Structure 1
Protein backbone atom coordinates (compact mmCIF):
# COMPACT_ATOMS: atom_id res chain seq x y z
CA UNK A 1 0.00 0.00 0.00
CA UNK A 2 3.06 2.24 0.19
CA UNK A 3 3.34 2.55 -3.61
CA UNK A 4 1.45 5.24 -5.52
CA UNK A 5 0.21 3.40 -8.58
CA UNK A 6 -1.56 6.42 -10.06
CA UNK A 7 -4.92 4.62 -10.01
CA UNK A 8 -7.39 3.55 -7.35
CA UNK A 9 -6.34 0.06 -6.25
CA UNK A 10 -9.53 -1.94 -5.79
CA UNK A 11 -7.89 -4.70 -3.75
CA UNK A 12 -4.58 -6.32 -2.80
CA UNK A 13 -3.98 -9.98 -3.61
CA UNK A 14 -1.84 -12.27 -1.46
CA UNK A 15 -0.72 -15.82 -2.31
CA UNK A 16 -2.04 -15.23 -5.82
CA UNK A 17 -2.06 -18.15 -8.23
CA UNK A 18 -2.24 -17.35 -11.92
CA UNK A 19 -4.72 -19.40 -13.90
CA UNK A 20 -4.59 -18.34 -17.53
CA UNK A 21 -5.39 -14.63 -17.52
CA UNK A 22 -7.10 -14.73 -14.11
CA UNK A 23 -5.86 -15.05 -10.52
CA UNK A 24 -7.12 -16.89 -7.46
CA UNK A 25 -5.90 -15.23 -4.27
CA UNK A 26 -6.56 -14.09 -0.72
CA UNK A 27 -7.91 -10.53 -0.82
CA UNK A 28 -7.23 -7.58 1.47
CA UNK A 29 -8.40 -3.94 1.53
CA UNK A 30 -11.27 -4.41 -0.93
CA UNK A 31 -12.50 -0.91 -1.76
CA UNK A 32 -15.99 -2.08 -2.78
CA UNK A 33 -16.69 -3.26 0.75
CA UNK A 34 -18.18 -6.52 -0.47
CA UNK A 35 -15.18 -8.73 0.30
CA UNK A 36 -13.79 -9.30 3.76
CA UNK A 37 -10.05 -9.38 4.40
CA UNK A 38 -8.81 -12.94 4.08
CA UNK A 39 -11.49 -14.16 1.67
CA UNK A 40 -10.45 -16.23 -1.33
CA UNK A 41 -11.38 -14.63 -4.65
CA UNK A 42 -11.01 -15.22 -8.36
CA UNK A 43 -10.44 -12.17 -10.51
CA UNK A 44 -11.99 -11.54 -13.88
CA UNK A 45 -9.61 -11.58 -16.84
CA UNK A 46 -6.67 -9.25 -16.16
CA UNK A 47 -3.49 -7.95 -17.73
CA UNK A 48 -0.33 -6.67 -16.05
CA UNK A 49 0.15 -2.94 -16.55
CA UNK A 50 2.97 -2.06 -14.12
CA UNK A 51 5.52 -3.50 -11.71
CA UNK A 52 7.28 -2.03 -8.70
CA UNK A 53 9.87 -4.31 -7.18
CA UNK A 54 8.19 -7.65 -6.62
CA UNK A 55 4.65 -6.21 -6.77
CA UNK A 56 2.58 -6.06 -9.94
CA UNK A 57 -0.41 -3.96 -10.88
CA UNK A 58 -3.17 -5.73 -12.76
CA UNK A 59 -6.07 -4.19 -14.64
CA UNK A 60 -9.19 -6.05 -15.65
CA UNK A 61 -9.55 -6.38 -19.42
CA UNK A 62 -12.58 -4.06 -19.33
CA UNK A 63 -10.43 -1.46 -17.51
CA UNK A 64 -12.79 -1.10 -14.54
CA UNK A 65 -10.71 -2.63 -11.72
CA UNK A 66 -7.09 -2.63 -10.55
CA UNK A 67 -5.43 -5.14 -8.25
CA UNK A 68 -1.97 -5.29 -6.76
CA UNK A 69 -0.38 -8.72 -6.44
CA UNK A 70 1.59 -8.61 -3.20
CA UNK A 71 2.71 -12.24 -3.24
CA UNK A 72 2.38 -14.83 -5.97
CA UNK A 73 2.54 -18.60 -5.91
CA UNK A 74 5.44 -19.91 -7.98
CA UNK A 75 6.18 -23.31 -9.39
CA UNK A 76 5.73 -25.97 -6.73
CA UNK A 77 3.61 -23.70 -4.54
CA UNK A 78 6.48 -21.47 -3.39
CA UNK A 79 5.44 -17.92 -2.61
CA UNK A 80 7.26 -15.03 -4.27
CA UNK A 81 7.01 -11.34 -3.56
CA UNK A 82 7.80 -10.73 0.08
CA UNK A 83 10.19 -7.82 0.43
CA UNK A 84 13.01 -8.53 2.85
Structure 2
Protein backbone atom coordinates (compact mmCIF):
# COMPACT_ATOMS: atom_id res chain seq x y z
CA UNK A 1 0.00 0.00 0.00
CA UNK A 2 1.46 3.36 -0.98
CA UNK A 3 1.79 6.02 1.74
CA UNK A 4 -0.44 8.47 -0.16
CA UNK A 5 -3.30 5.96 0.07
CA UNK A 6 -3.07 6.11 3.87
CA UNK A 7 -3.70 9.86 4.09
CA UNK A 8 -6.98 10.60 5.85
CA UNK A 9 -7.44 7.10 7.25
CA UNK A 10 -7.94 6.40 10.97
CA UNK A 11 -4.59 6.12 12.79
CA UNK A 12 -5.29 2.50 13.79
CA UNK A 13 -5.70 1.54 10.12
CA UNK A 14 -2.45 3.30 9.19
CA UNK A 15 -0.60 1.52 12.01
CA UNK A 16 -2.12 -1.89 11.19
CA UNK A 17 -1.30 -1.42 7.50
CA UNK A 18 2.35 -0.92 8.46
CA UNK A 19 2.58 -4.45 9.88
CA UNK A 20 3.84 -7.27 7.67
CA UNK A 21 1.00 -9.77 8.01
CA UNK A 22 2.59 -12.28 5.64
CA UNK A 23 -0.58 -12.38 3.52
CA UNK A 24 -2.50 -9.96 1.33
CA UNK A 25 -4.96 -8.15 3.60
CA UNK A 26 -8.31 -7.82 1.84
CA UNK A 27 -9.52 -5.04 4.14
CA UNK A 28 -8.98 -3.33 7.48
CA UNK A 29 -11.94 -3.17 9.87
CA UNK A 30 -12.71 -0.48 12.45
CA UNK A 31 -15.27 -0.57 15.27
CA UNK A 32 -15.77 -4.26 14.54
CA UNK A 33 -18.61 -5.93 16.40
CA UNK A 34 -18.56 -9.71 16.64
CA UNK A 35 -21.75 -11.37 15.45
CA UNK A 36 -21.23 -15.09 15.94
CA UNK A 37 -18.31 -16.04 13.68
CA UNK A 38 -18.62 -12.81 11.63
CA UNK A 39 -17.88 -9.15 12.17
CA UNK A 40 -19.90 -6.07 11.28
CA UNK A 41 -17.52 -3.14 10.90
CA UNK A 42 -16.46 -0.02 9.06
CA UNK A 43 -14.20 -1.07 6.19
CA UNK A 44 -11.04 0.63 4.95
CA UNK A 45 -8.63 -0.17 2.09
CA UNK A 46 -10.89 -2.81 0.56
CA UNK A 47 -8.73 -4.63 -1.97
CA UNK A 48 -11.72 -5.65 -4.07
CA UNK A 49 -12.70 -2.02 -4.61
CA UNK A 50 -16.34 -2.91 -3.96
CA UNK A 51 -16.59 -0.96 -0.69
CA UNK A 52 -15.59 2.62 -0.10
CA UNK A 53 -13.66 3.62 3.01
CA UNK A 54 -16.00 4.02 5.99
CA UNK A 55 -18.80 1.82 4.63
CA UNK A 56 -20.35 -0.77 6.94
CA UNK A 57 -19.74 -4.38 5.92
CA UNK A 58 -20.31 -7.85 7.34
CA UNK A 59 -17.51 -10.37 6.89
CA UNK A 60 -18.05 -13.98 5.96
CA UNK A 61 -17.48 -16.42 8.81
CA UNK A 62 -13.90 -16.00 10.03
CA UNK A 63 -11.40 -17.51 12.44
CA UNK A 64 -8.55 -15.76 14.24
CA UNK A 65 -5.10 -16.28 12.73
CA UNK A 66 -2.84 -13.93 14.70
CA UNK A 67 -2.62 -11.03 17.16
CA UNK A 68 0.10 -8.43 16.55
CA UNK A 69 0.57 -5.19 18.51
CA UNK A 70 -3.10 -5.10 19.54
CA UNK A 71 -4.45 -5.85 16.05
CA UNK A 72 -6.06 -9.12 14.98
CA UNK A 73 -5.72 -10.94 11.67
CA UNK A 74 -8.71 -13.09 10.78
CA UNK A 75 -9.24 -15.41 7.81
CA UNK A 76 -12.47 -16.48 6.18
CA UNK A 77 -13.36 -20.14 6.72
CA UNK A 78 -12.91 -20.63 2.96
CA UNK A 79 -9.33 -19.35 3.52
CA UNK A 80 -9.68 -16.96 0.59
CA UNK A 81 -9.96 -13.64 2.47
CA UNK A 82 -7.94 -12.00 5.26
CA UNK A 83 -9.06 -9.03 7.33
CA UNK A 84 -7.30 -7.05 10.03
CA UNK A 85 -9.40 -5.89 12.98
CA UNK A 86 -7.93 -2.46 13.75
CA UNK A 87 -10.45 -1.75 16.52
CA UNK A 88 -13.17 -3.88 18.07
CA UNK A 89 -16.26 -3.02 20.04
CA UNK A 90 -16.60 -5.25 23.08
CA UNK A 91 -19.04 -5.86 25.93
CA UNK A 92 -21.57 -3.11 26.56
CA UNK A 93 -20.12 -0.95 23.79
CA UNK A 94 -21.00 -3.54 21.15
CA UNK A 95 -24.54 -3.77 22.48
CA UNK A 96 -24.97 -0.02 22.24
CA UNK A 97 -25.17 0.54 25.99
TM-score of the pair, normalised by structure 2: 0.79
Task: Structure 1 unaligned segments of length 5 or more: list them.
Answer: 79-84
- The answer to whether 1:32 aligns with 2:48 is yes
Measured against aligned partners, the alpha-carbon deviations of 1:48-84 in whole angstroms (never above 9, x if no partner) come to 0011021000000000000000000011117xxxxxx
Partner of 1:81: none
Partner of 2:65: 49
Runs of 4+ in 1 over 2 A off after TM superposition: none
Partner of 2:84: 68
- The answer to whether 1:6 aligns with 2:22 is yes
Higher Cα radius of gyration: 2
Partner of 1:15: 31
TM-score of the pair, normalised by structure 1: 0.90
Number of residue pairs the alignment of both structures matches: 78
Q: Give the distance between the partners of 1:32 and 1:50, measured in 2 at CA.
A: 22
Q: Give the distance between the partners of 2:72 and 2:54, measured in 1 at CA.
A: 19
RMSD of aligned alpha carbons: 0.9
Which structure shows the higher helix fraction?
2
